[in-house]
Structure 1
Amino acid sequence: MAEEITVKEIDEVVVRFSGDSGDGMQLAGNMFSNISATEGNDISTFPDYPADIRAPQGSLTGVSGFQVHIGSGKVYTPGDKCDVLVAMNPAALKTQYKFCKPQSVIIIDTDSFTKRDLEKAQFQLENPFSELGIKNEVVEASITTMCKECLKDSGLDNKSILRTKNMFALGLVCWLFQRDVKVGEKILREKFAKKPEIAEANVQVLYAGYQFGANTHASVSMSYRVPSKNQKAHGRYMDINGNKATSYGLIAAAEKAGLQLYLGSYPITPATDILHELAKHKSLGVKTVQCEDEIAGCASAVGAAFAGALAVTTTSGPGICLKSEAMNLAVITELPLVIVDVQRGGPSTGLPTKSEQTDLLQALYGRNGESPMPVIAASSPTDCFDAAFTACKIALEHMTPVVLLTDAYIANGSAAWKLPDLNEYPSINPPYVTPEMASYWTPFLRNYETGVRYWAKPGTEGFMHR
């Protein structure tokens, strides 16, 4: 029987999963995050995917990564350097090694380190570790071979079997950090509920990865445990990214204001997920329109605001340039409009999948006539809910467009979020006209205390066009 391995308690750890875009690193990272959150750890994650639509397999530009920071106490960022790097091929090792600490553990799939794979990753030597000067502890596992052996009687084709490699890596990482692999099994069975044969195959490989670590001790001197010391408030929690939290904040504000939510948008990375999420909620009265361009998206939202809806448009840096004239139309007509700018890197069309906070001056001053506009910035994925709710409240109660700034880092990153009680959130009271104003109302009649104009929605009795 193998000698018992030492288990060391640590306060926090950063794990980075990396491989080809089709290797399922995002799923493995998400599952490890959820497993850790279930055990009471605080988490913060960040997916790092390539800008290429589909780079050649094994190429340096096609590497997809997912980093998760788990801690016994409060965690605020996904971390800079990782304690464990999973590199499923040479390209992943070459591009992701820069994120390793000197004491990091590196896990590789030796079956993916053939001469051809090394050439694709532009290695000159047969030993990539000596070429990169790597002196870290390396766990070498023939993951592809073991997946094939594990599923040889499953009836699945070779392509489907190779798709389970990410689960073997996840199982091995779960063993390394004493995670409850049964939670991973539950997640897989729920995810593939309509494909039980795929669920069963992934579950088998997940356990195989865990047992490989347990039976061989995975060539490491010890495993680790991150205990939960964080006294979280009681309630229901979910793993949420910034774009989804923004969507929920907009829905919650519409509910509080008693208005229909309208989104006029044009797809643009990394803001498109808000359009995708809101499109799922027609049952809550949400209306989404994918317009032909950014200008139409914003202009349609201005029209929806005039019609009495809570109007929103979403975009990223290049789209803000195109929307600026319609945004100014909302300023001069004093209509409530929320413009969500999920910032990305670079000028012009920039770097779609990379994060940069470069639109602040444009959001503040990027319009003719020096037109003023409130600007709110979210600080974290979970803060996006409150930031979106606040942006809507300001827009509706002050009859003004409001810019909500997030960025790719916040929008795609995730954290454990306590489902809020909407009864604890403030009411939203738009400055509607009152019946006694009918005889003297004009479109820009103002409340002299607040300076806000009164809002007569089209069709309001007594205030219709005459």
Structure 2
Amino acid sequence: VLVAMNPAALKANLGDLVAGGTIIVNEDAFDERNLHKAGYDSNPLEDDTLNGYQVFKVPMTTITVEAVADLGVKPRIAERSKNFFALGLVSWLYTRPVEPTLEWITETFKGRPTVADANVAAFKAGYYFAESQELFDHQYQVAPAALEPGTYRSITGNPALAYGLVAAAKLSGLTLFLGSYPITPASEILEQLSALKRFDVIAFQAEDEIAGIGSAIGAAFAGMLAVTTTSGPGMDLKSEAVGLAVSLELPLVIVDVQRGGPSTGLPTKTEQSDLFQAMYGRHGESPVPVIAAKSPSDCFDAAIEAARIAVKYRTPVYLLSDSYLANGSEPWRLPDMDSYEPIEPGFATEPNHGDEYWPYLRNSETLARPWAIPGTEGLTHRIGGLEKEVDRGTVSYSAENHEAMTRIRQAKVDGIVRDIPPLEVDDEQGAELLIIGWGSTYGSIAAAVRRLRLAGHKVARAHLRHIYPLPANTGEVLRAYRHVLVPELNLGQLVRILRAEYLVDAIPLNKVWTLPFRVSQIEEKALEVLGQ
């Protein structure tokens, strides 16, 4: 169903409506002036523009103004209430309970009782209009969602990510430090954490992006769970400091809430175009693990996982979100924090080589170096960007030593693959096509696969959280299917990584149109690949 309050809304959103869909229009708004502003040469309600759709013309403005006439509201406020008229109409169409909406209106506008009364009247007018006018052949029943039992709340991606960082700090017993500079669409994380001081959170608004990450590196050296947040332009500015964090081998979570680029680009629009930047955007051999959240609520768990890897392996970690996830909303089941494993920082407390402390004498399993809080007696050591001697940690210009340290840092990140779960596949027996994605394409891919299966096509899907390193079974999964389709909101970044890493003929599906994929776009490409 598309509810078009004016010609511009109809023109902008008609392409998203499936053939045969229902259009409910406010016919009062389709006058010559509004049609001209929207770029229509003729009235689409009268020509063949809407052929193939079910069109219901309703004088919403007129009815709304009449419905609130006795309340004494100003004409402009009366007209604004027409949105609630439309909501009431659709609530009847989909048999939605009206009490929660009426309670919300009353609570939201309690400081403006006249406006609240007008909105309630408009809502009821729309509901009763739909009920009495017999415009629609039938109502629709929306079955309750099949959700696990528990307590739910609505959440968007940025708050979920902020809460995940707080939870990670609690799991590790560390103070959470955020060093950040405001940038759309990541600023909300800074705002959220600045209000959570009672949970041992320090939120520092720096003067620029470089100071933000610099302060976070300092906090990591001081023994805190250090985080910096940004978006694409800030990624550019932070890259040198990320290289420093690689050299220092200190825990650091770098959150990139992606947006359209390059340069200032499209600050309020979504894109997945920073993957290569996260993977390769530093000079020298400087590997950094990369994790991506798949949904607004998943930002919580992705933040905990990024912190776990950062602390355990003493490494900076990129956590990728995007504008769609940051601002998208979904039900979130409040987690049982007792079900999460503790994150052990394992601080060094005593010399580790006789009477000496060697800051790069590594854990034999993880290759992580020890983490000593400054001021710990007997553990004085030097850090900085100059190359360090293996184990001992003094400055070294030896070619052989640099080779060894470079390979050790790479091996440490490569070894994380043993500590992440295998890639899960939602398989269907006999499937020849695998659709694999990362980040915010999760919902579109899942919906497209459901549609394809309902139409009788055998399709599998998988979604990557850990992008670097990739799960150990990724190559095995990819080679199990004749076709591999990779939808991305960029010009083909993950698909290049998969091709290079596993020599599979993965097929790209790329959009950089600042909006999430339509389900139909993935469905149509899948059918093309299957030869349908």
Give the TM-score, by structure 1 length.
0.76
CA contact (8 A) 2:351 2:358 kept: no
The answer for the alignment partner of 1:122 in structure 2 is 39
8 Å Cα contact 1:106/1:138 also seen in 2: yes
- Say which of 253, 272, 280 aligns to 1:338: 253
CA 1:283/1:203 → structure 2, altered by over 3 Å: closer, same or farther? Answer: farther
Is structure 2 residue 126 aligned with structure 1 residue 209?
yes
Number of the residue aligned with 2:136: 220
Give per-residue Cα distances to partners, 1:407-456, cap 9 Å, x unaligned.
22222222211100111011011130124659422433432332211112
2:359–2:381 Cα contact (<8 Å) kept: no
Distance 1:134 1:96 in 2: 16
Question: Aligned equivalents of 1:343 and 1:382: distance in 2?
Answer: 17
Q: Quote how far apart the aligned CAs of 1:262 are.
A: 1.9
Match of 1:374 in 2: 289
Question: 1:391 aligned to 2:332?
Answer: no
How big is each residue's C-alpha offset from its partner over 1:238-257, in whole Å with a ceiling of 9 and x where there is no partner?
A: 12122221111111111111
- Structure 1 residues 196, 309: closer, same or farther in 2, change over 3 A? farther
Which of 17, 26, 38 is the aligned partner of 1:109? Answer: 26
Partner residue of 2:211?
296
Higher relative contact order (CA 8 A, sep 6+): 1
Q: Does 1:322 align with 2:237?
A: yes
Matched residue of 1:118: which SS? helix
Once residues 243 and 365 of structure 2 are traced to their aligned partners in structure 1, the CA distance between those partners, rounded to angstroms, is 25
* Structure 1 equivalent of residue 100 of structure 2: 183
SS in 1 for 2:185: coil
Quick check: 1:125–1:131 contact (8 Å CA) kept in 2?
Answer: no
- The correspondence for 1:454, drawn from 361, 365, 370, is 370
Give the deviation of 1:159 after TM superposition. 3.5
> What is the RMSD of the two structures over their aligned residues, measured on CA atoms?
2.3
Structure 2: distance between partners of 1:244 and 1:176? 33
When structure 1 is superposed on structure 2, of 132-141 and 368-377 the one drifting more is 132-141
Measured after TM superposition, the shift of residue 133 of structure 1 is 4.4
- Aligned pairs, number: 381
CA contact (8 A) 1:335 1:399 kept: yes
Please give the secondary structure, in 2, of the residue aligned with 1:101: coil
The question of whether the paired residues in 1 share the 8 Å contact of 2:164 and 2:302 is answered with: yes
User: Which SS does the other structure have where 1:369 is aligned?
Assistant: coil
- Matching residue of 2:279: 364
Contact map agreement 1:299 1:326 (CA 8 A) in 2 = yes
Determine which of 142, 155, 162 is the counterpart of 2:59. Answer: 142
Q: What SS is found at the alignment partner of 1:86?
A: strand
The residue identity in structure 2 corresponding to 1:302 is I
Residues of 2 paired with 1:117 and 1:256: CA distance?
A: 56
1:431–1:453 Cα contact (<8 Å) kept: no
Q: Normalized per residue, which structure has more strand?
A: 1
Distance 1:456 1:159 in 2: 65
Local SS of the residue matching 2:279: helix
* Mean Cα deviation higher: 164-173 or 274-283: 274-283
SS in 2 for 1:103: coil
CA distance in 1 between counterparts of 2:145 and 2:17 reads: 26
Deviation at 1:229, TM superposition (A): 6.0
SS at match of 2:65: helix
Q: Is the 8 A contact 1:356 1:407 kept in 2?
A: yes
Deviation at 1:129, TM superposition (A): 5.5
Give the conservation status (yes or no) of the 8 Å contact 1:168–1:206: yes
Query: What CA distance in whole angstroms lies between the structure 2 residues aligned with 1:432 and 1:349?
Result: 41
TM-score by length of structure 2 reads 0.67
Q: 1:156 to 1:444 in 2, by over 3 A?
A: farther
Q: Give the stretch that moved more between structures: 435-444 or 286-295.
A: 435-444
Check the 8 A contact 2:357/2:378 in 1, yes or no: no
- How many Å apart are 1:265 and its aligned residue? 2.0
Q: Residues 455 and 113 (structure 1 numbering): CA distance in 2 closer, same or farther, change over 3 Å?
A: same
Say whether the 8 Å CA contact 1:270–1:316 is kept in structure 2: yes
Cα distance in structure 1, aligned partners of 2:72 and 2:374: 63
Which residue is 2:397 aligned to?
none
- Select between 191-200 and 373-382 the one with higher mean Cα deviation: 191-200
Are residue 157 (structure 1) and residue 74 (structure 2) matched? Answer: yes
- Deviations along 1:188-227, whole A, 9 cap, x unmatched? 333334444443332232222211211113x222211112
- Any stretches of 5+ residues in structure 2 without a counterpart? 383-532
CA distance in 2, matches of 1:377, 1:465: 34
Answer yes or no: is 1:423 the counterpart of 2:338: yes
Contact residue 88 and residue 109 of structure 1 kept, 8 A = yes
Matched, 1:256 2:256: no
C-alpha distance in structure 1 between counterparts of 2:85 and 2:162, whole Å: 34
1:154 and 1:463, CA in 2 relative to 1: closer, same or farther beyond 3 A?
farther
Q: In 2, distance between residues paired with 1:191 and 1:246?
A: 26
- Secondary structure of 1:263's counterpart equals strand
Q: 1:259 to 1:115 in 2, by over 3 A?
A: same
- Deviation per CA, 1:277-324, whole angstroms, max 9, x where unpaired? 223322223222333322222222222222222121112222211111
**How far apart are residue 150 of structure 1 and its match?**
2.4
Q: Judge conservation of contact 1:298–1:326 (CA < 8 Å) in 2.
A: yes
- Would you say the 8 A contact 1:90–1:128 is kept in 2? no
Going from structure 1 to structure 2, the CA distance change for 1:199 and 1:408 (only over 3 Å counts) comes to same
Matched residue SS, 2:117: helix
Alpha-carbon distance between aligned partners in 1 of 2:160 and 2:337, rounded to the nearest angstrom = 14
1:391-410 mapped onto 2 (5 Å cutoff): 391-410=306-325
Counterpart amino acid of residue 258 in structure 2 = Q
Residue 105 of structure 1: how far off its partner (Å): 0.8
Structure 1 residue 170 and structure 2 residue 87: aligned? yes
Retained in 1: the 8 A contact 2:351–2:357? Answer: no
**SS of the residue 2:13 aligns to:** helix
Paired residues of 2:2 and 2:24 also in contact (CA < 8 A): yes
2:356 and 2:378 in contact (8 A); partners too: no
Q: Distance in 2 between matches of 1:158 and 1:259?
A: 57
Pair 1:428–1:194, CA change in 2 (3 A)? farther
Partner SS, residue 144 of structure 1: helix
Structure 1 residues 105 and 373: CA distance shift in structure 2, 3 A: same
Counterpart position of 2:326: 411
> Which residue in 2 is equivalent to 1:48?
none
Shift of the alpha carbon at 1:348?
2.5
Asked if structure 1 preserves the Cα contact closer than 8 Å seen for 2:347 and 2:371, the reply is yes
- Letter in structure 2 aligned against 1:170: L
Structure 1 residue 181, shift from structure 2 partner: 1.1
Instruction: Report the 3-state secondary structure (helix = DSSP H, G, I; strand = E; otherwise coil) of the residue aligned with 2:284.
Output: helix
Deviation at 1:151, TM superposition (A): 2.4
